[in-house]
Structure 1
Amino acid sequence: MRRVRPGARKWVGVALAGLVLVCMGLAAAWWVPLPERLAAPPSVVMAYRDGSPAYVFLAPDDRWRIPAPKDRVDRAYVRALMALEDKRFLQHPGVDPLAALRAFGLNLSRGRRVSGASTLTMQLVRVLEPRPRTFTSKVVESFRAAQLEVRLSKQEVLEAYLQFVPYGRNMEGVEAAALAYFGHTAAHLSPAEIATLLAVPQNPNRRFPSPENVARLRSARDDIARRLLESGGLSVEGVASDVVLAEVRATQVPDVLKPFPREAPHAAVWLKARRPEATWLRTTLDAGTQRFVERTMGDAARRLERQGIHNGAVVVADREAGEVLALVGNFNFFDGDNGGQIVGFATPRSPGSALKPLLYALGIDQGLVGPETLVTDIPVTYGGYAPRNFDGRFQGLVRMETALSQSLNLPFVLLLERLGVEGFLGSL
C-alpha cells in the first residue's frame, strides 16, 4: 500500500480546513439576518401616464428615497458608476481581492492612504449599517458584502445601491437626487448630470447642492468627468471627449434643491390608501390636462369664494379610451377650514342636475325634444314619489332650453320616462 507523503497530507488538511471555512461562511450568510434597513419602505410615488412623477411621499423614516429599478436609470450612469467605483462588480463575490491588493500596494508606495478597495456592495453595507472606520469594521463589512452577494442577485444588489446611496441631508438614491438636483428622473441624464450624481456620494454633506458647496461640487464633478472620459467610462456617441468635457465644465452645477413633485394631491392620497402595498402608483393621468384643470379650479375658487362656495371637484375622462386624464378632489388641498382634503371625486353623492345636459343631449339625438320644444313643469306623482323644483314652484308650460337653463326637475323627469331608465344608463 502506497504511503501518503507528509507534504501531501498537509495540503489535504489545508484543503479540508478551507472547505470547512467556506461551508461555515455560507451557513452564516444564510443564518445571520440581512441588514434591517435593506427592507426599509421607500417613498411612494404616483406617476403620470408618461412615467414622470406627479406626487412623491416622504418615506416612513422621513427620507426621500425612491425605488430605482435598473431599467428606470440611464444605462450611461450605471456604466460610469461601475467604471469609477467598481470595475469588476459583475465578477467579484462582494469583495474584490485584486482591488484590495492594488490599493495595498499603492498606499504602501505612497506612505499614506490614497486609494480604497471598497466595492459597490461594501459601500452599500456601510450605508445600511454605518460603523467607525476601523479594521474590525472592514472585516464585518466584507462579511456582510459577501452575505449580500450570496443572498441577492447582482441586479438586486445594484438596485439596492441605487436606492440607498446617500446624496446629502435626508435624500437617498439616484432617482430622488435626480429629481431634487435637476427636476427630472434618472432615466435620461447628461454627462454633467452623471458626473454630478457620482461626485456627491463621495462626500455628501460637503457636496450636495447649496450655495456653500458650489465650488467643491464643481471641482469634484469636473475631475470625475475628466477621469471617466479618459478611461472610456463615459462617452457620447459621435462627440469627441474633449468636446464633452468642455460642455461639462460649461454647465452650471445645481446650487439649490428643487422641491419634489406634489401635483394631484387628492388623487395621490386616495390611490395610496387604496393600494397600501404599492410603491409606484401608475395612472392614466395626463400631466398637461391635470395642470390645466388645477389652474382652472384655482381661478374658479377665488371667484366662487365670494359666493360662499369653498369646495369643488373635477374628473376629466376619455370616454372612448376608458381613461381618466385629470382628477381634482377639491379647490385647495391645504384648506383645513373648509374640508380641503375631502376627496370630492371619490365621495359618493347623487349626481343631481349634472345628468340633465346628458338627458337633453340624448333626447335631441333621438328626436324627442329640441331647444324650442314646449314641455310641462307641473306637479306629478309616481307612487309615493312627488318630484319638485328647488324653489318649490312650478312654471307650467316652458321651452326645453329654459328648463335646462333654470334646472327645472319635472321636465327632465318626464323626458327620462320617455327615454327609459335602462336606455339612458346604457348610453352613459
Structure 2
Amino acid sequence: MEYILVVDDDPVSLLFMSSLLKRCGFQIVSAKNGLEALSILAENPNIQFVLSDWIMPEMDGIELCTKLKELEFDRYIFFVLLSGKDDQRSIIDGINAGADDFIVKGTDVKELEARVKAGFRTLELHNKITDKNQELDSAYATIRKDLDAAGDLVRQLLPTQTNFTGVELNYMSIPSAQIGGDMLGYMQLDPDHLAFYLFDVAGHGVSSALMSFSVQQSLSVVGGPSSIVKDINNNIIPPEDVIDKLNKLYISDDKIQLYFTMIYAVLNVKTGEVDYCSAGHPPLVWHHSQTEQAELIGDDNFVVGAFDFVEYKASSIQLNPGDKIWLYSDGITEAEKDNTQFSEDGLRKTIMDIHSHPTHLQTELLVNRVRTWQESDTFEDDVSVLAVEWKGYSKQEDDSCNTKLTTKVNAQFFR
C-alpha cells in the first residue's frame, strides 16, 4: 500500500491535493502543519512519502524537511516540497534543505502523478538496498563470530610450556587481523633433541590461516608413518628434508597459489649444536652470550610450496651456554615509520640492547620497542617472535628431570 502524508495549512488546498492523489490510487493521510506531520509519522511507521506545503505556521515545509532528513530520524522519507513559487531561488532553497523533489502548485495532474510514482520507485529501491545492507550486516556478524572462534582455535595451537632440559623458550604472536598466517612451535623429538620453527604464509585472511593451520598439524605429528619430522625407525629427519617434505605436500596448483617462508631447526640440548634450514625466511639472529654481540645468519633457499624443483640446504652452528637464537616474521622488521622500516639490523641491535633482561621478558620488550619506534601499537602485518636460549647441559639436571613438558607459561598471544 502506497501511503502519502500531505501537509498543508490551507484546508482547501489540502482537500484538493488529497482528492487528486486518491484518484491516482494512493492512500492519503493529512496534516495541517509540520508539528502535526511529525506526530503522524511517529505513529505510522509505514509512511515514507511526504508532500508538504512550503509556508505554514508553527513549522514550515523547510523546517519539516530538515527534521525528517536528520540522521537520528528513524527511517528514510522521500520528501516533496510543494510551493506556489516557481523561481530558481525557491527551487535551490528547497533542494538545499534536503527535499527530493520540488512541485509547483497547479502542476498538470499527469505530471504530478508521474513525479509521485517516480518518488515511490526511488523509495522501493532505497528500501531494497536497506534490506540488503541489513542482510550483509547479519552475514558479517556471523563471519566475525566464526573468525573469532577460529582465532581462539589458533591460540590453542600455540605452545604453552616453555622450559625443557637445558632450554628456555619464549614467544609473542600478534595477528594483524582476527586470524593470521604466522605460526610457530616447538616439540621434544627425543630426550636429546628439541625442534623449533616459525613460518609465515603469504597473504592474509582465511585462506592463509587455513594453510597455516594445516602446516602446523603436519609438523605436530612426532611419531608414526604420517610424521614428517621422524622416520618409521624413529630417527630424526634433518631440517632440510623436513622442509622438502613440506614443499612436496603444499606445492601450489592452479587453484591454490599460496606459499610460505619458514625456518625449521633442531637443537641438541646436550651439545648445543643447532641444525637449521631457512626457506625464503628472514635470517636468524644469533646472540652470543660471551661477546654480547648478535649476528644475522641464514641460507638463501626458496620459499616453500611455490616450486617443485627446489633442493634445500641446511647449516649448523654451535651454541655456547647462554646463547640465544631468535626467529621472527617480517611483520616486525618491516614495521614502518616515515617510509623507513625497522629493518633486520634494527632488530639485531635491539636484541643486543635487551640481552641483560630475563629471557621470559625479552620478546615482549622487543615488540614494545618496535611499537615505540613506529609510534603505533598496531602492526600492518602479523608479528611473531620466538627466542630460544640454550643454558648448557648438566648431567645432574638431566638425571633429575624427565623430558616431558613443564607447565610454566611465559608465552604471550596478543590480538
Whose strand fraction is larger, Structure 1's or Structure 2's?
Answer: 2
Shared topology, TM-score over 0.5?
Answer: no
**Structure label with greater radius of gyration:** 2
The higher relative CO (CA closer than 8 Å, separation ≥ 6) is in: 2
TM-score (norm 2): 0.23
Whose helix fraction is larger, Structure 1's or Structure 2's?
Answer: 1
TM-score (norm 1): 0.23
